[in-house]
């Protein structure tokens, strides 16, 4: 169907109306003569139809023969456009020149943009690209994007990878730099405890051990001191040089405990909707808002609030006002009793989930036990996990 419409447009056609009592006779004669027409719309003594230019010329004698009136309502197609533009050759020439200039102007690169640089300067990349013969104003066909992307890392060792893309008149250069090697930190430091625990094993690689297996330590206590003795074989202790400072290295394993508490909830609050609701509408802008209708605040003692914001915009254009609708759904609050066994089970599960979020690695639990106790505000459940882990933490000797 689309191809047929374009074919008719290229050949040209007219929209005509026939008036008079002989409209049916004209249409019958046209069909018998093989004249093609389409979009026929007939009323009492009038008919509208579309037909090609050749069929229109052959139809005119039939209209005079049937004594009907023919009116041309519309001329559609390329032949009529060419006829109208024949008298406006200046407009045609200007349009052709405009299209040619537009095509030529978009065949050049007018701007070069560099993205992805951190340590390298963008001006350095632009200078490097200019050395390769690429600068603003160059013909697009003269740029070999693949060759230039391979040439940039060869000319600068800090570039690991480069990609070039043409976006209209913009040449975009994306740079990926080589990762810089981290500078080792060799400042003197001690190894201290990151948390409370019972020492089980101490392995010293560099430094001097300050604790041994079986000791109890608290957070911040010294485990491995970052010093080494410079023994030169001198028997006199007064002539021994002072110990040198190093960065302590080693492994200290300890048995540690994690704890989580949860209250015993012997009553539970449940909420269910009653079916009643109320809505309020606000007109919002940057400096404030104005209520159009509805309650100014929640009209119910317990309710669920839902907000909906309607914005107006088209493409990149956003209007500065919004329409916000707030709906309050009334909830009926009920207080239910929970059996002690069920409340205990739920509190234990919540405490275990807290421990799983807190403990690094979430594995290696050696022992888990629970304790129920009471306070003034009610009953509580405490979950304690015993775990073996490394507790060493570096602390600089001189910040």
Separation CA 243–CA 149 (nearest Å): 56
Both structure tokens of 378: 């009610």
At 293 the pLDDT is: 87
Please report, in tens digits, the pLDDT of each residue of the chain (399 residues total).
678 888 888 888 888 888 887 788 888 888 888 888 888 888 777 888 888 888 888 888 888 887 788 888 888 888 888 887 777 778 778 888 888 888 888 888 889 899 988 888 888 888 888 888 888 888 888 888 888 888 888 888 888 888 888 888 889 999 888 887 777 888 899 999 998 999 999 999 999 999 999 999 999 999 999 888 765 445 555 555 566 888 999 999 999 999 999 988 888 888 888 888 999 999 888 888 888 888 888 888 888 899 998 887 776 667 788 889 999 999 988 888 888 889 889 999 999 888 888 886 666 788 888 998 888 778 889 999 998 989 999 999 876
Joined together, the tokens standing for residue 25 give 């006779």
- Beta partners for 19? 46, 69
- How do 216-217 and 208-209 pair as beta strands? unpaired
Could you tell me the CA-to-CA distances from 198 to 201, 248, 251, 252, 293 in Å, in that order?
10, 20, 14, 10, 67
pLDDT for res 357: 86
Distance of CA 311 to the CA centre of its chain: 20
Enter the pTM of the model. Answer: 0.45
Cα 123 to Cα 15: distance, rounded to the nearest angstrom? 64
The confidence score (pLDDT) of residue 328 equals 92
Domains of the chain (ranges, CATH numbers): 2-83 (3.30.70.260), 108-177 (3.10.20.310), 189-231+239-255 (no CATH), 261-265+338-387 (no CATH), 269-335 (no CATH)
pLDDT of residue 198: 93
- The pLDDT score that the predictor gives to residue 326 is 92
What is the C-alpha separation between 337 and 345, in angstroms, rounded? 15
The span from the CA of 175 to the CA of 133, in Å, is 18
∠ CA 7-13-16, nearest 5°, is: 150
Pairing label, strands 159-167, 197-206? unpaired
Torsion angle of the four alpha carbons 67, 68, 71, 72, in this order, in degrees rounded to the nearest 10: -90
- Report the pLDDT value the prediction gives residue 316, as an integer from 0 to 100: 63
Distance in angstroms (rounded) separating the CA atoms of residues 197 and 391:
8
* Helix/strand/coil (H/E/C) assignment for every residue in the chain: CHHHHHHHHHHCEEEEEEECCCHHHHHHHHHHCCCCEEEEEECCCEEEEEEEHHHHHHHHHHHHHHCCEEEEEEEECHHHHHHHHHCCHHHHHHHHHHHHHHHHHCCEECEEEEECCCCCCHHHHHHHHHHCCCCCCEEHHHCCHHHHHHHHHHHCCCEEEEEEEEECCEEEEEEEECCCCCCCCCCCEEEEECCCEEEEEEEEEECEECCCCCCEECCCCEEEECEECCCCCCCCHHHCCCCEECECEEEEEEEEEEEEEEECCCEEEEEEEEEEEEEEEEEEECCEEEEEECCCCCCCCCEEEEEEEEEEEECCEEEEEEEEEEEEEEEEEEEEECCHHHHHHHHHHHHHHHHHHHCHHHCCEEEEEEEEEEECCEEEEEEEEEEEEECEEEEECCC
Q: What is the pLDDT of residue 203?
A: 93
């Amino acid at each position: 169907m689309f191809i047929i419409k374009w074919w008719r447009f290229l050949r040209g056609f007219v929209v005509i109306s026939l008036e008079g009592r002989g409209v049916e006779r004209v249409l019958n004669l046209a069909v018998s003569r093989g004249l093609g027409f389409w979009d026929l719309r007939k009323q009492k003594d009038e008919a509208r139809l579309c037909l090609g230019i050749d069929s229109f010329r052959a139809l005119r004698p039939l209209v005079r023969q049937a004594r009907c009136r023919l009116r041309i309502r519309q001329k559609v197609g390329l032949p009529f456009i060419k006829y109208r533009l024949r008298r406006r050759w200046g407009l045609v020439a200007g349009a052709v020149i405009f299209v040619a200039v537009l095509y030529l102007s978009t065949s050049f690169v007018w701007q070069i943009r560099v993205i992805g640089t951190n340590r390298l300067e963008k001006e350095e990349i632009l200078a490097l690209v200019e050395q390769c013969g690429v600068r603003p104003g160059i013909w697009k066909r003269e740029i070999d994007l693949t060759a230039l992307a391979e040439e940039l890392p060869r000319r600068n060792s800090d570039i690991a990878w480069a990609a070039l893309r043409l976006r209209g008149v913009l040449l975009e250069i994306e740079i990926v730099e080589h990762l810089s090697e981290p500078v080792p930190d060799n400042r003197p430091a001690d190894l201290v405890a990151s948390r409370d625990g019972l020492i089980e094993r101490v392995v010293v690689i560099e430094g001097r051990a300050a604790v041994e297996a079986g000791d109890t330590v608290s957070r911040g206590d010294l485990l491995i001191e970052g010093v080494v003795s410079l023994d030169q074989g001198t028997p006199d202790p007064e002539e021994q040089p002072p110990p040198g400072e190093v960065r302590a290295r080693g492994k200290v394993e300890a048995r540690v405990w994690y704890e989580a508490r949860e209250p015993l909830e012997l009553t539970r609050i449940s909420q269910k909707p009653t079916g009643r609701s109320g809505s309020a509408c606000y007109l919002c802008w940057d400096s404030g808002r104005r209520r159009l209708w509805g309650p100014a605040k929640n009209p119910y003692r317990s309710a669920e609030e839902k907000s909906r914001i309607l914005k107006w915009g088209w493409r990149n254009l956003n209007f500065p006002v919004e329409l916000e609708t707030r709906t309050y759904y009334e909830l009926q609050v009920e207080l239910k009793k929970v059996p002690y066994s069920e409340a205990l089970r739920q509190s234990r599960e919540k405490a275990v989930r807290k421990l799983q979020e807190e403990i690094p690695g979430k594995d290696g639990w050696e022992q888990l036990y629970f304790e129920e106790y009471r306070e003034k505000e009610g009953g509580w459940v405490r979950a304690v996990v015993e775990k073996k882990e490394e507790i060493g933490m570096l602390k600089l000797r001189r910040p």
